[in-house]
């Protein structure tokens, strides 16, 4: 028989205290050592490093590139299952926990700190690039069909597939940290699958992989941000977009985001994120109204329909020719690998700001809302640029010559381009700071045994290393080197994210909250032994 128990008769779920001392240990030393060797290699022999990275990436794309497609699709399935099943009511924390941030502040931090720079770097550049050369030759270039395909693949690269990866990491780490009271690391969440291995060097290796992938995933964004700021300053002040200028920008921003990280999440990231979201909404509304509004709205609905109807075909599209493989390596494989390399960073950050949210709220806020926002953003800015190019503005040609010019070339076709260019540069700088700020905090946390309060020297060191790696990768090979570093560092996470998903299911199935509605034997009713006490914390 099944008996519904009275919740008031049960002890409340506790959030156990973490036992970590927060002092950097072997994971910190080994991670810093590896990255130091990489920095020395890049400085001493950039040509050799570039050659090794290129050959390695070519092998990965040709041999196991399909894994970058399968993993995100499985992540979407897992999150939807978690949200719509009985596990959706579980809170990331005790059963009485409530969110620490308002919904607006929470969503602002998610959108701004996670992928903010991408809104500017790729918001116009990707759709217009696909419009000029449709993916997999699915349409004739520079036609309406090409415009729809351009948006379809932009949605694919920046929508649910990306956010599902972040969501699995965030949900797993949030459950492990807030519900189970474990350190804020990736390895402890794998205990249901790996057992005692997570307590030894195998667990430390997983955390080291997480640190390295986080660093290289973020340096890619920093390189993109520096390029966009340099392009904006060129349009506003006439400054050249040379490598020394970009290095100077990274140096200045590194100081700013490190100082922001030292101020803490609640002060630095929270306020910067809300400012950037306000400016972003204002800029999007301006472009929608001042641009080809009817074309953009029609393109949005048509593209969403195309994306939905071809969802599984697009999600599992593998290359059949050498040209296809090259395109996939530059776009789809890179994008999915980039999100995987960001998984640990974003997961820890999402877990940090999502305490008290239910699983269902978490999935809606991490998978649903950002996907819709990115769909709208790419359609407003990318669709506007496409219509302008159809009318002879030459944005596609300008993007082909310099991908960093795409966003500003589109703004130049609208009124008050000087003002909107300034707003865009400010936005990129703030996205730059908030994203790198969050990255510095997470790197410090991962290398400090999961402590939620890493020391200032550790925060400062990771801020400096992040800026140094971004500079060196730009010197080695520009954007290509940044992409290759992100893709290679993400490879181990095609396995780790799968293990995380299995661990999350096993953990939630054993959650004490479901003892309220479990099957009870007749003997237990007679003896009163319903087994409602809290499980021990391991």
Task: Name the 3-class secondary structure at 331.
Answer: coil
What tokens does 297 get? 């709205």
pLDDT of residue 7: 37
Report whether pLDDT(419) > 50.
yes
Spell 488-520 as b/e; 16+ CB within 10 A means b: bbbbbbbebbbbbbebbbebbeebbbebeeeeb
pLDDT of residue 21: 52
Nearest to 366 by CA among 353, 380, 376: 353
* Alpha carbon distance 476, 4 (integer Å): 64
Report whether pLDDT(483) > 90.
no
Nearest to 225 by CA among 107, 91, 117: 117
Report whether pLDDT(523) > 80.
no
Of 62-76, 102-116, 224-238, the one with minimum mean pLDDT is: 102-116
532 or 179: which carries more pLDDT confidence?
Answer: 179
pLDDT of residue 377: 94
Report whether pLDDT(22) > 60.
no
pLDDT of residue 14: 45
465 or 156: which carries more pLDDT confidence?
Answer: 156
* Alpha carbon distance 478, 242 (integer Å): 11
Hey, how many other C-beta atoms are within 10 angstroms of the C-beta on 298? Answer: 14
Report whether pLDDT(530) > 60.
no
Span 121-146, pLDDT tens digits: 889 999 999 999 999 989 999 999 99
148 or 456: which carries more pLDDT confidence?
Answer: 148
pLDDT of residue 538: 41
Of 170-179, 356-365, 469-478, the one with minimum mean pLDDT is: 469-478
CA distances from 396 to 124, 382, 399 (A): 10, 11, 5
Contact 363, 79 (CB under 8 A): yes
pLDDT of residue 362: 95
Report whether pLDDT(482) > 70.
no
* Alpha carbon distance 187, 374 (integer Å): 31
Across the chain, mean pLDDT equals: 83
Mean pLDDT of 459-463: 86
pLDDT of residue 510: 83
449 or 132: which carries more pLDDT confidence?
Answer: 132
Contact 272, 433 (CB under 8 A): yes
The CATH-assigned architecture of domain 18-527 is Up-down Bundle (1.20)
pLDDT of residue 51: 81
Handedness of CA 261, 265, 269, 275 (dihedral sign): negative
Q: Tokens 């699915």 sit at which residue? A: 138
Mean pLDDT of 328-353: 86
* Alpha carbon distance 329, 332 (integer Å): 6
Mean pLDDT of 490-508: 88
State the burial class of residue 301 (Cβ atoms within 10 Å of its Cβ: 0-12, 13-18, 19+): exposed
Of 20-34, 260-274, 328-342, the one with minimum mean pLDDT is: 260-274
* Alpha carbon distance 195, 356 (integer Å): 27
pLDDT of residue 266: 53
State the burial class of residue 87 (Cβ atoms within 10 Å of its Cβ: 0-12, 13-18, 19+): buried
Bin 471: left if φ > 0, else alpha if -120 < ψ < 50, else beta. Answer: alpha
* Alpha carbon distance 46, 34 (integer Å): 17
519 bridge partner residues: 2
Bin 12: left if φ > 0, else alpha if -120 < ψ < 50, else beta. Answer: beta
318 or 15: which carries more pLDDT confidence?
Answer: 318
Span 394-417, pLDDT tens digits: 898 888 888 888 999 999 999 999
pLDDT of residue 268: 56
Residues 6 or more apart whose Cβ sits within 8 Å of residue 353? 100, 101, 106, 109, 110, 265
Handedness of CA 458, 461, 462, 463 (dihedral sign): positive
What tokens does 535 get? 């499980």
Report whether pLDDT(422) > 70.
yes
pLDDT of residue 2: 37
Mean pLDDT of 43-61: 80
* Alpha carbon distance 80, 273 (integer Å): 27
* Alpha carbon distance 193, 331 (integer Å): 33
Contact 421, 408 (CB under 8 A): yes
Span 244-303, pLDDT tens digits: 888 888 888 888 777 777 765 555 566 777 788 888 899 999 999 999 999 999 999 999
């Amino acid at each position: 028989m099944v008996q519904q128990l009275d919740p008031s008769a049960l002890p409340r779920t506790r959030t156990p205290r973490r036992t970590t001392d927060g002092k950097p240990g072997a994971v910190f030393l080994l991670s810093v050592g590896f990255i130091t060797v990489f920095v020395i290699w890049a400085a001493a022999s950039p040509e050799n490093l570039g050659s090794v990275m290129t050959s390695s990436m070519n092998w990965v794309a040709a041999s196991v590139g399909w894994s970058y497609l399968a993993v995100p699709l499985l992540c979407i399935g897992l999150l939807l299952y978690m949200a719509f099943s009985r596990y959706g009511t579980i809170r990331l924390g005790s059963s009485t926990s409530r969110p620490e941030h308002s919904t607006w502040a929470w969503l602002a931090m998610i959108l701004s700190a996670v992928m903010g720079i991408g809104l500017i770097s790729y918001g116009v550049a990707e759709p217009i690039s696909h419009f000029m050369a449709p993916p997999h030759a699915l349409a004739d270039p520079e036609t309406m069909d090409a415009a729809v395909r351009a948006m379809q693949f932009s949605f694919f690269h920046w929508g649910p597939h990306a956010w599902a990866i972040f969501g699995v990491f965030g949900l797993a780490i949030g459950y492990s940290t807030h519900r189970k009271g474990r350190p804020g690391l990736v390895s402890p969440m794998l205990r249901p699958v790996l057992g005692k291995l997570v307590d030894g060097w195998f667990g430390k290796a997983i955390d080291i992989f997480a640190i390295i992938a986080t660093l290289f995933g973020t340096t890619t964004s920093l390189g993109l941000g520096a390029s966009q700021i340099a392009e904006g300053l060129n349009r506003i002040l006439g400054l050249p977009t040379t490598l020394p200028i970009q290095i100077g920008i990274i140096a200045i921003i590194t100081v700013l985001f490190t100082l922001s990280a030292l101020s803490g999440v609640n002060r630095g990231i929270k306020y910067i994120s809300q400012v950037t979201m306000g400016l972003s909404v204002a800029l999007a509304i301006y472009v929608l109204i001042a641009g080809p509004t009817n074309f953009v709205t029609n393109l949005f609905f048509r593209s969403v329909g195309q994306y939905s109807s071809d969802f599984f075909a697009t999600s599992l599209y593998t290359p059949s020719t050498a040209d296809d493989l090259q395109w996939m390596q530059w776009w789809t494989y890179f994008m999915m690998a980039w999100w995987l390399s960001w998984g640990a960073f974003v997961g820890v950050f999402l877990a940090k700001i999502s305490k008290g949210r239910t699983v269902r709220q978490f999935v809606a806020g991490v998978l649903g809302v950002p996907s819709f926002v990115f769909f709208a953003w790419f359609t407003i800015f990318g669709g506007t640029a496409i219509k302008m190019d159809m009318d002879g503005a030459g944005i596609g040609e300008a993007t082909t010559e310099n991908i960093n010019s795409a966003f500003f070339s589109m703004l130049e076709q609208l009124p008050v381009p000087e003002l909107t260019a300034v707003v865009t540069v400010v936005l990129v700088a703030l996205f730059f700071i908030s994203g790198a700020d969050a990255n510095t905090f997470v790197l410090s946390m991962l290398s400090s045994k999961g402590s939620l309060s890493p020391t200032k020297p550790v925060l400062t060191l990771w801020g400096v290393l992040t800026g140094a790696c971004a500079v060196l990768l730009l010197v080695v090979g520009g954007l290509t080197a940044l992409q290759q570093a992100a893709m290679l560092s993400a490879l181990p996470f095609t396995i780790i994210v799968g293990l995380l998903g299995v661990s999350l299911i096993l953990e939630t199935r054993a959650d004490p909250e479901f003892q309220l509605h479990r099957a009870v034997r007749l003997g237990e009713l007679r003896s009163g032994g319903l087994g409602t006490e809290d499980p021990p914390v391991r």
